[in-house]
A and B are shown apart, each in its own frame.
Chain A
Amino acid sequence: MRNQRAVSAVAAVLLSLFVFFSFFPVLIMLLTSVKSRLEISLGIFRLPTDIRWDNYGRAFRKVIPYTGNSLLIAVAVVVGVLIVSSLAAYSLARYRFPGREPIYYSIIALMMVPTVLVLIPMFKMVAALHLLNSYWVVILPQVAGGCVMAVFLLRSFFAGLPEELFESFRIDGAREGTVLRSLVLPLSKPILGTVAVLNFNTSWNDYIWPMVTINKESLKPIVTGIMSFTNDYSSDYGPMMAAYVLASLPLMLVIGFSMRYFVDGLTSGAVKA
């Protein structure tokens, strides 16, 4: 018992160290966000003597118009990915049908295509489809991209669920949709939560594609919209960092929320713990 307490303490210390290093950039981001231009040039680690709270004012005014867009897109993407990939992963994991393996590998192979390669052909296509300057032009490709990894993760998880659970459902004559909805999904909360967080984050931080496809100011997401923080031929980092801080707040909220609801330990169903 004492041994365990000692081990726990050591673990806590090490973990704190790791978290500190992982979070270090966030600290710098916060520090830089209140500095003046001169002080930023004078050194990244220096503590500011000339605190510029108005960086946040400027950032706020720039970020707010775009926040709704980022939120809408990210939520739509998460919902889309969860629905589409759950269906597909369930099918791939629990059914046997002709062509199952080739289909699965074809989907996984999509992860191996460098995205920058696809930029121009994809743009030509969405231009021809008249999707430019709409939310869809950002949502649909993001859902498509997010599903690939999601299917990869979910299929592995679904396949690992023990057979016995399904037996009992099937004996009661449940339809397939019910099995998915009532049995599999509740058990898969941790992995679904992971998928949700991952896709929210990727969608939120996607810069290049929205920059290229959305020119209407009113539709731009945050990371694309917060430009012209330039005062000089290099960027004005103070307000820019403040903008990044503000932009990451919703992200933090979402993570907190999803950690609570989805990854709160496995209390439902017959899963080992």
Chain B
Amino acid sequence: MRGTEPRLPLWRSVYRAKHAYAFLLPLIALLAIFSYYPIVMALKMSFYQWKGGNEAIFNGLDNFRELFSDPTFYRSLGNVFRFILFDCTVGVLMPLLVAELLFHLRSARLQYAFRTMFVATITVPSVVVILIWVFLYNPVVGGMNAVVSVLGIGPQLWLGGTSTALGSVILSGFPFINPIYLLIIFAGLQAIPGSLIEASVLEGCGRWRRFLSIDLPLVSGQLKLVFILSVLHAMQSFYKPLIMTGGGPGDATLVPGLYMFQSGFSRNDFGYASTIGFVMLIAMLAITFATNKLVRSEND
């Protein structure tokens, strides 16, 4: 199937691959109606001044001009960058660590049990997690100040302090083990041929060495996948800042996703919200493209 076929004229290629197109058809049809059409409509609005009602006034690139000279937007970018920096490193390393630990268990039953439990954590409603952390972060009645006092740090304002708010929101992702990422990486580790592992043991390879030279390269595809997914998720998410701090104090925890939501639903500036969305989309495309190009991996 690979390699040495002569190039066919286009229509021939298309006909040859008619199965391929047929299989793709249901997805494309569904996406065209329920994804592409609304998105194009929404993005179109970034060229308008739209209050969410029935009238929209075309104003060309005005929204974009306003956005690129908007200090709040840049601050939100700075904030989300910190999110990404943390979530996409710790958030990828932790599932990797857990997956590796799972593999070092001798009992397959224990492994199965742990695996199921981690997957089950996906059912926790995020509103519960947020509630707990908001309570923990309360300087007066919560537990965080008590915890850090053990470490010798004085009482903090956490969500209510300008310098601590963003960090507090980021840390509320503890323990940063996303079950889906875990499953993906675990599946990748599972796919490593047993023969390779045996060979390395026979050669007297230490565990750490094996991890670095066998495990890591062979799951780099999955790691890349998880990295991209976590970047995309971090870029778009705003639920936590919305509920925990409303973007504050000031705009210390404002992220682009929240800024977009507020522009639309609080300030009736849906055109501007679309503009933010548009710019975010371009940014995410760029990051994904760059990651794909920079990190070569086995299966792609």
Contacts and interface: CB of A to CB of B under 8 A. Distances in A.
Interface of A: 4-5, 7-8, 11-12, 14-15, 18-19, 21-26, 28-29, 43-45, 83-85, 87-88, 90-92, 95-98, 100, 103, 107-118, 120-122, 124-125, 140-141, 143-145, 147-149, 151-153, 156-157, 159-160, 163, 176, 180, 190-191, 194, 197-198, 201, 205, 223, 237, 241, 244, 248, 251-252, 255-256, 259, 263-266, 271-273
Contacts of A87: 23-24, 26-27
Interface in B100-129: 101-102, 104-108, 110, 112, 114-125, 128-129
B116 A255 contact: yes
A156 B225 CA distance: 9
Contacts of A116: 238, 257, 260-261, 264
Interface of B: 1, 10, 13-14, 16-17, 19-21, 23-24, 26-28, 30-31, 33-39, 41-42, 45, 52, 98, 101-102, 104-108, 110, 112, 114-125, 128-129, 131-132, 135, 141, 143, 174-175, 177, 180, 183-184, 187, 190-195, 207, 221, 225, 229, 232, 235-236, 238, 257, 260-261, 264, 270, 273-274, 277, 280-281, 284-285, 288, 298-300
Contacts of A115: 236
B23 A90 contact: yes
Contacts of B192: 272
A194 B112 CA distance: 15
Contacts of B26: 83-84, 87-88
A11 B123 contact: no
Contact of A22 (B33, B121, B135, B191): B121
A5 B261 contact: no
B277 A95 contact: no
A87 B29 CA distance: 13
27 contacts: A15-B101, A15-B102, A23-B117, A24-B132, A26-B128, A44-B131, A45-B143, A87-B26, A97-B21, A110-B39, A113-B35, A114-B257, A116-B238, A117-B260, A121-B42, A122-B34, A124-B41, A144-B30, A145-B35, A160-B298, A194-B187, A244-B125, A244-B128, A255-B122, A255-B123, A259-B119, A273-B194
